[in-house]
Amino acid sequence: MAHHISESVIGAAVVAVAVSFLVYAGQSTGFSTGSDAYELNASFGSAEGLNIGGEVHLAGVQVGTITKLKLDSVTYRAIATFTVRSDIEIPEDSEAKVASDGLLGGNFLELTPGGSDYMLEAGQEFEFTQGSVSLMNLLLKFASGTGDEE
């Protein structure tokens, strides 16, 4: 009888760990159902390095999550849809840019607030954006000496 009780306790512990892992994964990727956030969009010439579930930062603090990336077949620009916490208001003249955590770090979406008195509402798109910069292209330009000739 004691053998069956210990198996049941171990099984319950495994299930509890699995459930807590799933809850953590849902919260860290922004797919939790209880999140109180609103969606915004930004259009980029290049969204290279951004991933669904990636972080959205404002002043170095994570305030949201990237929820969708798609290609606009008319303009050939990448459209990033992301959520921002509902307690954060973003001025309408703010900038969204693809930023990097350093040479070996991943990319994230960085928001730089503007000075407007009017705030973006759910579903609106950023007017000012800056796509990702290719490190390889910069190194090739530097190595070949193009781009800064007098």
Query: Is 148 a domain residue?
Result: no
Amino acid at 1: M
Tell me if 64 is assigned to some domain.
Answer: yes
Q: Are residues 128 and 54 in the same domain?
A: yes
Same domain for 85 and 117: yes
Tell me, yes or no, whether 48 and 29 share the same domain: no
Domain coverage including residue 87: 37-133
Residues 76-99 have a mean pLDDT of: 94
Phi-psi category of 21—alpha, beta or left, where left has phi over 0 and alpha has psi -120 to 50?
A: alpha
Q: Which residues contact 81 (CB under 8 A, 6 or more apart)?
A: 39, 40, 41, 66, 67, 68, 69, 70
28 and 44 part of one domain: no
φ, ψ of residue 132 in degrees (nearest 5):
-75, 150
Q: What is the pLDDT of residues 13-53, one digit of tens each?
A: 787 777 777 766 665 555 544 569 999 999 999 888 899 99
Identify whether 139 is part of a domain. no
Q: Is the same domain home to 127 and 107?
A: yes
pLDDT of residue 33: 46
- The count of structural domains within the chain is 2
Q: Are residues 3 and 73 in the same domain?
A: no
pLDDT bucket at 143, cuts 50 / 70 / 90: confident
In this structure, the answer to whether residues 9 and 26 fall within a common structural domain is yes
| Residue range 121-130, pLDDT digits in tens | 999 999 999 8
Contact (CB, 8 A) for 66 and 51: yes
Indicate whether 17 and 64 sit together in one domain: no
Shared domain check, 28 and 16: yes
Q: Are residues 110 and 59 part of one domain? A: yes
